[in-house]
Structures are given as C-alpha cells and as structure tokens.
Amino acid sequence: MTEINAKTPMEKMTIGGNIYTAGNAKEFKTGDWRSMRPVWIEEKCKQCGLCFAVCPDNSIPVGKDLKRTDFNYDYCKGCGVCSKACPFGAIEMKEEGVE
C-alpha cells in the first residue's frame, strides 16, 4: 500500500471506492472528517455494553475486564448511533472542535 499524503500525485492514488484487500480498515484512520464527536461521560456509564455493540467502526474499546473505555477517535465517524443506543445519557454528541 502506498502512503498517501498531501504531496501524493493523483496518479499514485487508488480509485475511490475500490477495496483491494479484505480486512484493511485498521490501515486507514478515517475519523478525521467527523463533524460531530461522541463524548463519553464515565460517571453516567453503567457498562451495559449497548454502545460498543452498535458501533459500525469498532471505535469503542472494551478491555479484558469487559469494561468499555474512551472512544478511539482515529476511526470514529461521529455517526451518533452509540449515543442513541445509550439509555443512561452517558454519550453526548458535540460539534467537532467545540469543548
């Protein structure tokens, strides 16, 4: 795979939408175009597991103790599915770049 950066010429890039190998999502950090960001409120979290099961990008890490930790923002797209799934209000969606 070619390392793509701001100086990569168009001729060296792959055609958009084409997937050449299976299981390559970990090679591409796709969270940088997010406009909304989920914020985990640990004090409200009951560790029920409903959020990580619905995350389409596997952006909610779960440790060996089966407890979730904070988001992996390298892959989170900000879709908000986790926030909708949380019955305890432990995930709030915030505009990206706003604290």
pLDDT in tens, 75-85: 899 999 999 99
Domains of the chain and any CATH numbers? 28-99 (3.30.70.20)
User: Is 97 exposed, middle or buried (CB count within 10 Å of its CB: 0-12, 13-18, 19+)?
Assistant: exposed
DSSP annotation of 33 reads: G
Closest CA to 45 of 80, 87, 79: 87
∠ CA 33-69-95 to the nearest 5 degrees?
Answer: 35
Residues 51 and 80: their CA atoms lie apart, in Å, by: 10
Prediction pTM value: 0.72
Mean pLDDT for the stretch of residues 88-96 = 95
Tokens at 78, concatenated:
């900000």
